[in-house]
Structure formats: structure tokens, C-alpha cells
Chain A
Amino acid sequence: MNQAANSSPADLDALRLEVAALVVEALNLDMAPESIPADDSLFGEGLGLDSIDILEVALVVSKRYGFQLRADNEDNVRIFRSLRSLTEYVAANRTK
């Protein structure tokens, strides 16, 4: 079930860059994907995402990785806490 557990650290690093690139593109951020720190908050002092941004990111993530995000089965704040937590969630739930 949990593909994250089977992913090697190198796989996760590569996926993290891929997810970062999706975030940058979806939100039209003027920054390089590799410059988003893995553990900084995506809200607040970090990128400062809001709910509109999260819906934009969720749309591209669900299209790219083939799963729907749900507000009731997972805590948005936890998933979107950092680039690392979002990447781990994608790794664990992707179907493609």
C-alpha cells in the first residue's frame, strides 16, 4: 500500500523536484523549483500558500499522479505543511 516506504531516498529527492516544478508552474511563482526548501512551511513565512493556491496545486497534482485529494480523509494543513510532506503524500497515493 504505502509506496513511500518502498521509495529510495534518491527517488523521493527526484520526485520532490518534480512536485516543486509543478507548484512553481501552477502558481506562477517567480522562483526556481530547486530553491524551495524541502522543510519550510508552504504557508506562513514560506511560500505563503492560501486555499486558492492549494486548489490549483491539487488540480495539477491529481492530474499528474492520478489520485484525488480529499479534505475529509487527510488534513490539508499536514499534507501541504512542506514540500517534503506533500512529496511523501504523492509518493504514497500516486497511481501513475
Chain B
Amino acid sequence: MTPPCPAALPLLSHERSDAVVAWRPDGPVTAGRFLADVRRLASDLPAGGHVLNVCADRYRFAVGVAASLVRGKISLLPSTHTPETVRQLLAFAPDAFCLTDSAACDIELPQHRYREAGEAEASPEGLAVPAIDPDQIVAYVFTSGSTGTPVPHRKTWGPLVRNIAAEADRLGVVGTPFTLVGTVPPQHMYGFESTVLLALLSGGAIWSGRPFYPADIAEALDAVPRPRVLVSTPFHLRTLLAADVSVPPADLVVSATAPLSGNLAVAVEARLQCPLVEIYGCTETGQTATRRTAETAEWQLMRGLQLSVEDGKTWARGGHVETPTALGDIIEPTSGDRFLLHGRSADLVNIAGKRSSLGYLNHQLNAIPGVVDGSFFVPDDEADGVTRLTAVVVAPELDRATLLQALRERIDPLFLPRPLLFADELPRNATGKLPRTALDALRRKLGNAE
């Protein structure tokens, strides 16, 4: 057991054992019941020190994270679960196991199945909230490096707690019994922070489901009491508004993962009858800034953070950012704690909130036997939609299905090229680079030929 630490920070901010921590289809889950579930799972977990928590039910995921914390185990949050990524995780943490609530889980790690408490076990024993050392490592969040090996980013308890406190303050949910309905998975950093930790650390509640279709989102909102918060993305919000479903009012909408247009923000606010707050952040720094997108294009830094420009890059420091970190976006400071964002730096790719780099994707593409040359590129952005990548390959020996299958083994499906174009050669210039104009011309030519 970890010795008690004077500065330890509680796992849960709820002050009464009958406070609601989650809503499930069969009703509320109290803080007392949650802590009992955490204790039970903590004593069930196997010995390995690293956990790949893939529970689809958001409540079970939260219990898994809390139980791992109590046992001093580190959660692994890779950006994808492809077989190649799982092999790389295992190389990084040979003692990793998978916590799952699905009988059909095919992840190639030792598996521990989540078990619901039996009737006899469901006996909350008051509110003994575990406290966690602020230096304890909660999770490694992985980004894809440019060389093919995912890069781990260490997240410790203290900075996470500071980040979530700043978020709760900015969103104005402190002191209200809000419920979070998330359309994003809790295994993604945004979902981890804004659909799980935000509830646990700010006295809120988690909706256990992950609504998918527009009609599911409407039903999930209806299933929880107000005040309720929809935690979503531009893509889900656009599809929600485009569908012919009646959406119940919410009290707040949160959006992240990709820039939201002012027009969509205004439409969402009108339809859900509440403010929409957009969050800008990245894996390295956590949440960096927010804005009320319907009213302003300017971002406001999170509490305690500062920006500075050095060596042509913008650096964030202070607050929950432990070491000064360069941001991967082009930033124009305006006044005080405000700034404008002007898109990502050249090599970064962000598809529906999953991040990669063209360097990494090109490396994977060209490593496939039979690929002579190949390159991914990002077509011009589509507002609030999901821009898919295009790839042009020279691979006379391979057919489309074989090449796509080989890519699927290596990269997340979101980065699979749409379209995948075959060419006799790539229009490389004298230095071996691919000028964007030449790629665009080739794409038009190949596209027309189909």
C-alpha cells in the first residue's frame, strides 16, 4: 500500500455517500456504491502494473480508472487499438493487461473481464474516499511519433486535478449537480478528462452510455436530469443538427477535437437552448484554452497558463503544464490571455480528434512490401466535417484490397486514404519533395480517369 501523503488529493469530490456519480439506464449510482465498486475491482485486478482499459460502458471505465489509481496501476491510453499498436504497447509495458466489459474483446493482451457486483456485494459503507499522491502516474497517453513508435506522455494526478478544476471553473459547473452525456469515448484524452474526470472531481455525474446516432443522443439527454451537459465534437454536432430528430434542451454543450465554425456554434446554441463552449488542447499540455464560439473567434487561456513565442514556436507553460511545451498549431496572441488559432503546423494531421503526422503515415505506407513510393496528403478542410486523407501510391504489384488490408494492420482506420489513388510515379521535384500543387494536379488527373 502507498503510505499516506499529506498532500494527497481525493479521488472523488462528492461530499455525501448518496450524491449521484453516474446515471445508468436502470437509474442513478451513488458515490457510496461507486466507491464500493472501486474497492471490489481494485481487489480483483491482476498483478500487472499497466492497464489498457477498453470498457465500453463509461461508468465501468470510470470504476476501472479509479480502481487502477487505488492499486497504483497506470492506465494506458493509446490513440488506437490496432494489432500493431497493441504489440507496441506490450513492448513498452510488458506487464500490461486489458480490462474489458465485452466477451468479444479480441485484444491480444491478458484479459480481465469487468464483473458487476452481485446483490450481496452492493453494500456501500459510507464515504471513505481514497486520496491519491499528486505525483502518482495516472496514465500514459500516446501520440504517434514520426518514426513508427508511439510516444508516451505521462499524466500525473496533481496536474490533472488542477486542469480539471480550471475546466470546471471555466464551464461554470462548480457546485451544480450536472450530468455529462458524452459522444466521445472515455479512452480518448478529451473523453477521459471531460466525460470522466470532470464528473468525479467536480461533483457531477456520468451518463454510462456512449450515444452514437442522433436519435441516441436525443434519448440519452432525455434520460438524465438537468442540468445536463453534452460533451461532443463538431462532427457529431453537425450530424445531430442535420438529422430529423427532436433534441431536448441541454444546459451546456462542450466541443473539442477539431475547430468548430461560428455558424455551427450558433445553430447548436439555438437548437439545444444553451451556451456552447469549445475547448482547445493537445495531449502534451492538456486543455489549453476555451471560447464561446458563437460569440468570438478568440480563445481564452486556461487559468494559470501563459504563452510565449520563442524560436518561431508558441510555448505554453504554467498552471497544469508541468514543463514548457511547444504547441503544434500556429497561434497569434491578441491581448492578455487571448489568442487566435490559424490551423495546424504542416506535418500534423487531425481526423475526428485522432492525431497523427504525415511523416508517420508515409513511413507506414512505404514500409509495406510492394509499395515503390507513396504519399499521404490532406485535402482542403471541409467546415465542421471530417476531412479524410488522400494517398497516392506507386505499387504495380499490389491491388487495392491487399494494400488497404496491409495499411489497416498498421494505422488507425480513420487515417485510411479516401480516396486511395494509384499512379505510375509521383511528381517529385529535384530535391525529392512533393510540391502540393503537383500532387493536387495528379489527384485531379487520376480522379477524372476513374
**Which A residues between 67 and 83 are near B, CB-CB below 8 angstroms?**
68-72, 76
Please give me the residue from chain B that is nearest to A68 by CB atom: B215
**Which A residues between 18 and 52 are near B, CB-CB below 8 angstroms?**
27-31, 44-45, 48, 50-52
**Which B residues between 397 and 424 are near A, CB-CB below 8 angstroms?**
401, 404-405, 408, 413-414, 416, 418-421
Please give me the residue from chain A that is nearest to B351 by CB atom: A52
Q: Which of A30, A45, A52, A62 has the most CB of B within 10 A?
A: A52
Please give me the residue from chain B that is nearest to A70 by CB atom: B215
Residues of A within 8 A of B343 (CB): none
Q: Does A58 make an interface contact (CB < 8 A)?
A: yes
Q: Are B212 and A30 in contact (CB under 8 A)?
A: no
Residues of B within 8 A of A69 (CB): 213, 215
Q: Are A52 and B450 in contact (CB under 8 A)?
A: no
Q: Does A59 make an interface contact (CB < 8 A)?
A: yes
Residues of B within 8 A of A28 (CB): 388, 418-419
Q: Does A14 make an interface contact (CB < 8 A)?
A: no
Q: Are B216 and A30 in contact (CB under 8 A)?
A: no
Q: Are B450 and A30 in contact (CB under 8 A)?
A: yes
Interface size on A, residues (CB 8 A): 23
Q: Are A52 and B386 in contact (CB under 8 A)?
A: yes
Please give me the residue from chain A that is nearest to B415 by CB atom: A50
**Complex Cα gap A56–B385 (Å):** 10
Residues of A within 8 A of B414 (CB): 50, 52
**Which B residues between 409 and 450 are near A, CB-CB below 8 angstroms?**
413-414, 416, 418-421, 447, 450
How far in angstroms is the closest Cβ of chain B from A78?
A: 13
Q: Are A58 and B213 in contact (CB under 8 A)?
A: yes
Known A45-B405, A55-B236: A72·B244 in contact at CB below 8 Å: no
Known A29-B419, A45-B405: A68·B243 in contact at CB below 8 Å: yes
**Which B residues between 200 and 237 are near A, CB-CB below 8 angstroms?**
211-216, 219, 235-236
Q: How many B residues are at the interface, by size bracket? A: 20 to 34
- Number of inter-chain CB pairs below 8 Å: 65
**Complex Cα gap A30–B214 (Å):** 27
Please give me the residue from chain A that is nearest to B354 by CB atom: A52
Q: Does B239 make an interface contact (CB < 8 A)?
A: yes
Q: Does B7 make an interface contact (CB < 8 A)?
A: no
Q: Tell which of B216, B239, B352 touches A70, judged by Cβ atoms closer than 8 Å.
A: B216
Q: Does B47 make an interface contact (CB < 8 A)?
A: no
Q: Tell which of B212, B405, B416, B447 touches A71, judged by Cβ atoms closer than 8 Å.
A: B212
Residues of A within 8 A of B245 (CB): 68
Known A30-B447, A69-B213: A45·B419 in contact at CB below 8 Å: no
Q: Does B242 make an interface contact (CB < 8 A)?
A: yes
Residues of A within 8 A of B214 (CB): 59, 62, 68
Please give me the residue from chain A that is nearest to B233 by CB atom: A52
Residues of A within 8 A of B386 (CB): 52, 56
**Which B residues between 235 and 255 are near A, CB-CB below 8 angstroms?**
235-236, 239, 242-245
**Complex Cα gap A58–B211 (Å):** 14
Q: Are B213 and A71 in contact (CB under 8 A)?
A: yes
Please give me the residue from chain B that is nearest to A46 by CB atom: B401
**Complex Cα gap A96–B414 (Å):** 32
Can you give 11 A-B contacts (C-beta < 8 A)?
A29-B418, A30-B447, A48-B413, A55-B212, A55-B236, A55-B239, A62-B214, A68-B213, A71-B213, A71-B216, A72-B219
Which residues of A are in contact with B by a Cβ distance under 8 Å?
27-31, 44-45, 48, 50-52, 55-56, 58-59, 62-63, 68-72, 76
Which residues of B are in contact with A by a Cβ distance under 8 Å?
211-216, 219, 235-236, 239, 242-245, 352, 386, 388, 401, 404-405, 408, 413-414, 416, 418-421, 447, 450
Extra 14 A-B pairs, beta carbons < 8 Å, given A27-B418, A63-B243, A71-B216: A28-B388, A28-B418, A31-B450, A45-B401, A48-B408, A52-B414, A59-B243, A62-B243, A68-B213, A68-B244, A68-B245, A70-B216, A71-B212, A76-B212
